[in-house]
Amino acid sequence: MKIRPQQLESELHDKLKSVYFIFGAETLLIDQSLSQIRSAAKTAGFDERVSFEIDANFDWDQIYGEISAASLFSPKRIIECRLKTGKIGVKGSKSLSDIVSTIPNDILLIVSTGKLDMAQQKSKWFKTLDKYGGIVQHWEVDRSHLVGWITNHMSGLGLEDNKEVAQNIAFCTEGNLLASMQEIQKLNMAYPDGKINTQEYLDQANQQSKYTVYGLIDASLSGDINQVEKIYSTLIGDSSMPIQLSNSLYREIKSIIDMSIELQQAKDVNSVLQKHRVWKKRIPIITNALKRHPYQRLQKLLLSLGRIDRSIKGMDNLNVINELRTLLLNLAGKTQWTQ
């Protein structure tokens, strides 16, 4: 049975099922649904919980053993299974289907995973979960709906409706829901009465954004070489920076390449920017990048990012810190390509 995410709370209040399956592209949304189910389960007396990480080589006898073992502490138990991917193998598919269809009343089974393709959603194990349990699918939050998502979560914490602040959070976090949620929580701490000083917040956010990965990318797209060097030197000490920067740069350059291709057909930059829902504040930055970089150069930058990403994952041997700096400077207009 499919359950819409916004209906989960009321469904849990009406009746707790014996099996739930949560999946989708947004980790934060999946975690929120899991928290709702755990909370409802605790209220219903499920006080003990055990978790398993499952891949294609997982020993399913562990779960059979857990189900058959009596608990000394609680007659009602939760078994959580996190599938690393939707590819659990023939044995895994058979075992999961069997477990789901024969789960005893004193066990609550919660299965979760990331995004699944259509073939995986037509598999036997998926259909069995759909037949015996509740399935909650989380879709990616589209850019056009991000401001609304942020506004709703602000309201949920007692913050006043403030579209300007919500738009700024959406711009600064670029669709990263976890980062957006962290900003909303910071707002809640800064303005406990719910009344946001808009100008004060925007001034602080603007100052902070200059020294983030997103501020770095904008400086590079704007052609500000000195600012690129300045920001990059402040971020080098953050061990998570290369991964975040590489991922954000890939999304940004890929989006600009798509716009560049469309411009060859449409010729009207405003219509292309509007189609890709470029934030008003970023229109001059993206327009500048489209004028300065031909399609071929952008493709070369994207290929370079591919090697950098492989090096981050240990599959290539580039000096990631140096190569990211070189790429940013090339994006900013300084010619010093080393590859």
The mean pLDDT value for 178-206 works out to 88
Give me the pLDDT at residue 21, please. 97
The mean pLDDT value for 53-57 works out to 89
Give me the pLDDT at residue 259, please. 92
Domain residue limits, the chain: 5-138, 143-209, 223-332
Residue 323 near residue 308 (C-beta atoms within 8 A)? yes
The mean pLDDT value for 233-251 works out to 88
The mean pLDDT value for 187-208 works out to 86
The mean pLDDT value for 291-311 works out to 91
Give me the pLDDT at residue 322, please. 94
Band of pLDDT at residue 174, cut at 50, 70 and 90: low
Which of these ranges, 44-58, 60-74, 140-154, has the smallest mean pLDDT?
60-74
- Is 336's pLDDT higher than 60? no
Which of these ranges, 21-25, 84-88, 152-156, 175-179, has the smallest mean pLDDT?
175-179
What letter does residue 2 receive in the DSSP assignment? Answer: B
The mean pLDDT value for 265-274 works out to 83
Structure tokens at 335: 């010619």
The mean pLDDT value for 182-202 works out to 91
Which pTM does this prediction carry? Answer: 0.60
Give me the pLDDT at residue 337, please. 46
Residue 295 near residue 260 (C-beta atoms within 8 A)? yes
- Is 126's pLDDT higher than 80? yes
Residue 33 near residue 138 (C-beta atoms within 8 A)? yes
265-280 b/e (C-beta count within 10 Å ≥ 16 → b):
eeeebeebbeeeebbe
Do the first three CATH levels of 5-138 and 143-209 match, i.e. the same topology? no
331 burial level (CB within 10 Å; 0-12, 13-18, 19+): buried
Neighbours of 126 (CB within 10 A): 20
Give me the pLDDT at residue 301, please. 92
With respect to CATH, is domain 5-138 assigned 2.40.70.10?
no
CA dihedral over 233, 331, 177, 84, signed as positive or negative: negative
The mean pLDDT value for 8-29 works out to 91
Give me the pLDDT at residue 25, please. 84
Indicate the fold that domain 223-332 takes in CATH: Zinc Finger, Delta Prime; domain 3 (1.20.272)
Neighbours of 129 (CB within 10 A): 23
The mean pLDDT value for 213-225 works out to 90
Q: What percent of the chain has pLDDT over 90?
A: 55
CATH class for the region spanning 143-209: mainly alpha
Name, in order, each residue with C-beta under 8 angstroms of 54's C-beta and a sequence gap of 6 or more.
81, 82, 83, 84, 88, 92
